[in-house]
């Protein structure tokens, strides 16, 4: 195999895991990040976020001497390929903010040797690779080759997704770039789709938008199930057995969160709008998702009458299990909405320790407890926001005894109704056929 020198710009979820993957494949990797504390931690073998298996993989590759961490570009570098994996957060209008991508590419323009490949892994609007090519040419670097190599990893299982991807998309402008990408990815066993860069960029957005659509669709079905007395978990199972539909992304609940689906769906609505097209379907997907997050507030209000003074415990703050990422977590919207109703809100999560939330127009740091029994004691209701196995495995009989009112809203449909009934819990769920308000003491 050929060893390639690779520079990875951005050492977050995507950059770090990608860098480690290339290192493991035998390449020599330099990771660059502007965040000094992140680089310092990585040099000490610490991963500044929670991702299963990453600390071990980092330790192994540092030991092998195949990966190094920097706060500035090694200038000039002999890297034949650079990967751009910096953040592309949403602007207030919902489109992707490309400031970090431009900074990264401008840095690479000064650092890379002749003919190197600049592979964009950040999720960027369709047409960005072409614009970056022009930007590089304007800086006297028409020789640099720009590619779009979107990333599809899921947080919480990032290593598995990067080492065993469902597919690899190589958006290229010439054959030499395709060849370089094939060489660098040699050893990964997945179908390769070679396209132009705009198509590759669209594959990324369309994939996320489609998965988000499945989620909003099943949440709509769930809301109807509640009104007509059907069980959405069985509906999803029955639907998913049809291979044309498939079982994945049909778990009804409090909707999607995280750093990608919310941002990328809004960005695609914007991309369409800027191209003169109204993406009606996706706009509805976004709207349904926003409404779904607050379903527990409506349902608890129906039952309690008012939430003023009620103690409500949110079980789960991370946007999904297996990560400490709280970006766009439904828990934060729920916290704010419950506080606005006058409730006393407590939060619990096995890995998140604190979270920032906008309360009454001010940004506040909110503490998160890691002992569910502590925050459930004396509570009037609990909401399962994140389906951590720790919450499913609670001694619910014990919990029901020491909650003031043993009401649990299962926002992820992970608790077993029969077991909860036996434990003495009043269970509310999403789409399992119980819409009528349960009058509560
Ligand atoms: N997180 C995911 O699951 C995921 C999956 C697929 C694609 N993506 C996309 O990949 C991109 C990165 O996402 P992430 O979650 O890894 O972000 P992140 O915020 O975890 O990491 C981005 C890193 O880039 C660094 N950075 C910013 N500007 C820089 C610069 N000019 N030079 C060097 N470093 C710089 C930041 O300090 C940060 O450490 C985004 O576009 C995202 O949409 C994310
Ligand atoms: O049936 C389902 C499946 C997921 N979710 C929610 O959807 C969100 C996203 O979940 P997941 O896809 O597992 O997490 P991410 O790490 O955000 O990964 C998505 O976003 C990444 C960033 O673009 C992509 O790379 C991945 O392919 C894509 O799955 C989470 O809030 C989940 O709770 C549901 O509500 N129901």
Domain positions in the chain are: 5-195, 196-440
Distance 107 CA to ligand 1 centre (A): 16
Q: Please tell me if the CB atom of residue 152 comes closer than 6 angstroms to any atom of ligand 2.
A: yes
CA-wise closest residue to 247 among 263, 234, 236 = 236
Kindly report the protein residue whose alpha carbon is nearest to atom 6 of ligand 2: 256
Contact 121, 260 (CB under 8 A): no
Please give the distance, rounded to the nearest whole angstrom, from the Cα atom of residue 342 to the centre of ligand 2.
Answer: 31
Q: Please tell me the number of the ligand nearest to residue 430's CA.
A: 2
Prediction pTM value: 0.96
Q: Tell me which DSSP letter residue 278 carries.
A: -
Residue 289 phi, psi (nearest 5): -65, -40
* Index of the ligand 1 atom closest to the CA of residue 16: 16
Q: Report how far apart, in Å, the C-alpha atoms of 354 and of each of 50, 134, 311, 373 are.
A: 14, 43, 19, 18
Q: What is the pLDDT of residue 436?
A: 59
CB atoms under 10 Å from CB of 115, counted, come to 12
- CATH node for 196-440: 3.40.50.720
Q: Which pLDDT belongs to residue 431?
A: 95
Q: Is 260 known to be catalytic?
A: yes
230: helix, strand or coil: coil
Task: Pick the ligand that lies closest to the CA of residue 70.
Answer: 1
Atom of ligand 2 at shortest distance to CA of 330?
Answer: 31
> How far, in Å, CA of 71 to CA of 55, rounded?
20
Q: Is 82 exposed, middle or buried (0-12, 13-18, 19+ CB in 10 A)?
A: buried
User: Which of the following is catalytic: 21, 31, 225, 260?
Assistant: 260
Determine whether 280 is exposed, middle or buried from the number of CB atoms within 10 Å of its CB (0-12, 13-18, 19+): exposed
Mind listing the pLDDT tens digit of every residue in the chain (441 residues)? 789 999 999 999 999 999 999 999 999 999 999 999 999 999 999 998 889 999 999 999 999 999 999 999 876 678 999 999 999 999 998 889 999 999 999 999 999 999 999 999 999 999 999 999 999 999 999 999 999 999 999 999 999 999 999 999 999 999 999 999 999 999 999 999 999 999 999 999 999 999 999 999 999 999 999 999 999 999 999 999 999 999 999 999 999 999 999 999 999 999 999 999 999 999 999 999 999 999 999 999 999 999 999 999 999 999 999 999 999 999 999 999 999 999 999 999 999 998 887 766 778 888 999 999 999 999 999 999 999 999 999 999 999 999 999 999 999 999 999 999 999 999 999 999 766 566 665
What is d(CA 252, CA 76) in angstroms, rounded to the nearest whole number? Answer: 51
Question: For the domain 5-195, what is the CATH code?
Answer: 3.40.50.720
Which pLDDT belongs to residue 333?
A: 94
3-state secondary structure of 271: helix
Q: Is 257 helix (H, G, I), strand (E, B) or coil?
A: coil
Which of 52, 90, 149, 154 gets mutated to test ligand 2 (max ligand atoms within 8 A of its CB)?
A: 154
Say yes or no: do domains 5-195 and 196-440 share a fold: yes
Q: How many Cβ atoms sit within 10 Å of the Cβ of residue 358?
A: 12
Distance 265 CA to ligand 2 centre (A): 12
The span from the CA of 403 to the CA of 168, in Å, is 49
**Could you tell me where the DSSP H helices lie in 312-424?**
330-340, 372-376, 389-392, 396-402, 417-423
């Amino acid at each position: 195999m050929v060893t390639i020198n690779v520079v990875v710009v951005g050492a977050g979820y995507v950059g770090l895991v990608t860098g480690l993957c290339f290192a493991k494949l035998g390449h020599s990797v330099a990771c660059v990040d502007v965040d000094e504390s992140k680089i310092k931690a990585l040099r000490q073998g610490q991963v500044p976020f929670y991702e299963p298996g990453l600390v071990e993989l980092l330790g192994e590759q540092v030991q092998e001497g195949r990966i190094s961490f920097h706060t500035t570009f090694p200038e000039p570098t002999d890297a034949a390929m650079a990967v751009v994996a910096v953040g592309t957060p949403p602007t207030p209008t919902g489109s992707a903010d490309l400031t970090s991508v431009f900074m990264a590419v401008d840095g690479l323009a000064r650092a890379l040797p002749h003919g190197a490949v600049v592979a964009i892994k950040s999720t960027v609007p369709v047409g960005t690779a072409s614009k970056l090519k022009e930007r590089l040419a304007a800086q006297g670097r028409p020789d640099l080759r720009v590619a779009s190599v979107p990333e599809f990893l899921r947080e919480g299982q990032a290593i598995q997704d990067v080492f065993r991807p469902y597919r690899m998309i190589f958006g290229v402008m010439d054959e030499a770039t395709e060849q370089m990408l094939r060489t660098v990815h040699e050893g990964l066993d997945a179908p390769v789709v070679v396209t132009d860069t705009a198509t590759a960029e669209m594959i990324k957005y369309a994939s996320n938008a489609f998965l988000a659509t499945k989620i909003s669709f099943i949440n709509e079905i769930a809301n109807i199930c509640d009104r007509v007395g059907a069980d959405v978990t069985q509906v999803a199972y029955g639907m998913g057995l049809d291979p044309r539909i498939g079982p994945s992304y049909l778990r009804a609940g409090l909707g999607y969160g995280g750093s990608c689906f919310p941002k990328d769906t809004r960005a695609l609505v914007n991309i369409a709008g800027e191209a003169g097209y109204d993406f009606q379907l996706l706009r509805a997907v976004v709207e349904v998702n926003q409404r779904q997050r607050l379903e527990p507030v409506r349902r608890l209000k129906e039952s309690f009458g008012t939430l003023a003074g009620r103690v409500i415990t949110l079980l789960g703050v991370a946007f999904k299990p297996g990560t400490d990422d709280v970006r766009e977590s439904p828990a934060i919207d729920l916290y704010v909405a419950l506080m606005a109703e006058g409730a006393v809100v407590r939060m619990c999560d096995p890995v998140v320790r604190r979270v920032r939330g906008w309360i009454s127009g001010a940004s506040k740091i909110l503490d998160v407890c890691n002992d569910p029994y502590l925050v459930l004691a004396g509570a009037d209701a609990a909401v399962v926001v994140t389906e951590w196995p720790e919450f499913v495995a609670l001694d619910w009989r014990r919990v029901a005894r020491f909650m003031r009112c043993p009401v649990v809203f299962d926002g992820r449909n992970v608790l077993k109704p029969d077991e909860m009934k036996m434990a003495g819990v009043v269970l509310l769920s999403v789409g399992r056929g119980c819409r009528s308000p349960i009058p509560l003491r």
